[in-house]
Amino acid sequence: MLSSQIKQKLKKDTVLYAQMPIHLTIDESNQCYSQIKNHQATITLGEKAPYHYLEHFHPQGYEMFMEGLLFHELASLRYCDFQILSQTYIQASQALTQVNSAAKDFLNKQMSYRELKSIITNYVFQTNLPLVLKAIEEGAVENALGIDFPETWNPLMYARQAITSSFLKEKHQQTDTAFLMDKIIKEIMVICTYGYRFQLNNSIIYLPHYLSQNFIQIRKLAIQGRLQTNHTKERLEIAKEILNLCQPIMDETVKEIFDTIQNGSKISGISQSLFSQMSSEIAIQFQKGESQNSPQQTPTKYQLNLSDEEFQRIESLENEAEKTQKHQILQDIHRREEKQRKQQEKSFQSQTYHSSIEQSIVLSPLERTTPTQYGTIALRNQNESIIRSNKLARLFKRERMYASKSQTKHKLEYGRQLDQQNLYRASLDGRVFKTHKQGKKKDLCVSILVDTSESMSGDKIINTMKGCFELARVLQTLKIPFCISAHKALGKTQVQLTEIISFQDCQKRYLLNRIYAMHTSGGTHEDIALEYILKKLSAYKRHRKGFVFVLSDGDTHGVEHIHELTRLYKKDQDIDVIGIGIQTAPLITKTYPNGLFIENIETLPDMLIQKLKEIAI
């Protein structure tokens, strides 16, 4: 369904492109129509209307379809002569009433065969005329609005292509001649509205088979009505010409209806006709209430006589235009996606930076400094942890050293900078370019966030304590400022945060034993804790590169919020968030974009360094 922002945009478009006072109503129906009353028009857009044609839409495609429906209604109000349309519909309704009455009179032997046949012939013509006129009118007004306001063309064509696609999905069999006139009229309507483009070549099957001699002339008239007429009156005459070309099928339809009446059965051919099926839709479109005094003249696209050569050229141009139009529509959808994404990022950025996340955080002092039951178990392997931390410190130091060195690559085939010492290779293999990357040592600042919820009980928290100790010892060895905090949920909206080691005390080696004092309880709202830590780190780190290592099992609420926070602080504050699950569960890789699942703690140094190299130390 439409967001409030899109609804506001549609209302602005209504004011922008309307030539009379128009009130836009958006409801949850599946209809789209407009009405005129007291010199004011009302357009009603049903949010379910697009699903009448297709079951699934891209989010931005759905919005574009709704724009196309709105522009179509605006075009109708601008260019259509509703007095002519209304008269056409009234004549069709009268013909329908007359043929039903005449059928009863004939069965009661109160009317002759000739009189009934004349009335049925008039009925077939008059009830199909609004259908053909409706199609030509829709094609002409959409084309006209696209000429006057080119920016409306993509939404109009996207909606029209989607409507045409629903026709293409219908099953068509050439041998199925039941209600043949209705099938012929459906194909004529599609051609009059959209044009005989390559997409329709395999779906239009009745016209070229049953009206082969007149098929090209019908296509010419369809182009003329859609692209070359200025008024509804001209399009009415073209609709009549098209129906006259369908005379052989109309004669067969008259015979079918007469045989149905003569057999004395119910007049199913009349009650099930295409006009009867679309009667309500045509009534809404053709009888909008008051008629405009002077509808605007429809601008034309081609001012020329439709010779055979020009006719083929126009159809060829429209075939090519359809191919490029789909590409343009996809580009438009992509632009809309990008615009929406940037708006969402901007909104999230403003919401995050101005949020009072502190109200959701309960800061709690460290209750004990002696090891817990799980901490005692983790302490037994402290010597192994020290060995791994020393290895990790060496690897970390080496990678930082490599990253700080300048690098130059010579003898490249492509590049922007000439390699002066290898210019002689120009006549040999052309490898005369080089690239230079200036090294820069980054100062780091790190926060370690530990999940101490109930789900981390047992081996999970034991391995997490080991990993936390090893990370903290590496940071101490390399003189990198860091802090350690543990979190658990208090109810649904609050998180208890316990500071294990602060930035001020991070270089005191003996304080690392506090890590073994962590105990598990409560639930998990890691997104709230992470947002607080990120906000605190961004305020403390200043010019330094920031890292947040989250030691967790990844089983938490607000995963989408975590992803958004990760993207925002990476882009704006140069802070990378790395989720580390040590012998917990692979879920950590889904919770964090830079997630690291470590099945064996012995591989922690190598896997962590590899991850840091991927995101750049």
Same domain? 120 vs 215: yes
Same domain? 433 vs 572: no
The parent domain of residue 417 ranges over: 407-437
Domains identified in the chain, total number: 3
Same domain? 385 vs 308: no
In angstroms, rounded to a whole number, what is the distance separating the alpha carbons of residues 465 and 486? 11
Domain's final residue, options 437, 458, 479: 437
Q: Is residue 581 part of a domain?
A: yes
pLDDT in tens, 489-511: 988 889 999 999 999 999 999 99
Q: Is residue 176 part of a domain?
A: yes
Which residue has tokens 């007049």?
267
Same domain? 242 vs 201: yes
Same domain? 372 vs 312: no
Contact 45, 67 (CB under 8 A): no
Q: What local confidence, expressed as pLDDT, does residue 228 receive?
A: 86
In angstroms, rounded to a whole number, what is the distance separating the alpha carbons of residues 404 and 605? 21
In angstroms, rounded to a whole number, what is the distance separating the alpha carbons of residues 230 and 227? 9
Same domain? 518 vs 563: yes
Q: Is residue 510 part of a domain?
A: yes
Q: What local confidence, expressed as pLDDT, does residue 505 receive?
A: 93
Q: What local confidence, expressed as pLDDT, does residue 534 receive?
A: 95
In angstroms, rounded to a whole number, what is the distance separating the alpha carbons of residues 334 and 499? 45
Paired tokens of 293: 């005094």
Q: Distance between terminal CA atoms of the chain?
A: 44
pLDDT in tens, 26-49: 999 888 888 887 778 889 999 998
Domain's final residue, options 418, 437, 456: 437
Paired tokens of 355: 């949020």
Same domain? 395 vs 432: no
Question: What's at 535, amino acid-wise?
Answer: K
Q: What local confidence, expressed as pLDDT, does residue 439 receive?
A: 64
Interacting residues of 41 by C-beta distance below 8 A, sequence separation 6+ = 18, 20, 21, 22, 23, 34, 35, 77, 288
Paired tokens of 265: 């059965």
In angstroms, rounded to a whole number, what is the distance separating the alpha carbons of residues 601 and 580? 11
Contact 542, 575 (CB under 8 A): no
pLDDT beneath 70, residues of the chain: 172, 174, 198, 264-293, 301-306, 439-440, 616-617
CATH number at residue 449: 3.40.50.410
Q: Is residue 75 part of a domain?
A: no
How large is the C-alpha radius of gyration of the chain?
Answer: 37
Q: CA quadruple 552, 558, 559, 560: dihedral positive or negative?
A: negative
pTM score over 0.85: no
Same domain? 432 vs 567: no
DSSP 8-32: HHHHHHHHHH-SS-EEEEEESSS-E
Q: Which of 94, 130, 106, 91 is nearest to 267 (CA)?
A: 106
Domain's final residue, options 437, 452, 485: 437
Q: Is residue 60 part of a domain?
A: no
Same domain? 304 vs 420: no
Q: What local confidence, expressed as pLDDT, does residue 290 receive?
A: 52
Q: What local confidence, expressed as pLDDT, does residue 284 receive?
A: 61
Q: Is residue 49 part of a domain?
A: no
Same domain? 297 vs 368: no
Alpha helices in 113-152 (DSSP H): 113-148
DSSP 348-375: HHHHHHT--GGGGEEEE-----S--HHH
Q: Is residue 40 part of a domain?
A: no
Q: What local confidence, expressed as pLDDT, does residue 270 receive?
A: 53
Same domain? 313 vs 390: no
Q: Which of 247, 196, 201, 192 is nearest to 224 (CA)?
A: 192
Helix (H) or strand (E) holding 425: none
Same domain? 318 vs 414: no
Q: Is residue 126 part of a domain?
A: yes
pLDDT in tens, 103-139: 888 888 888 888 989 999 999 999 999 999 999 999 9
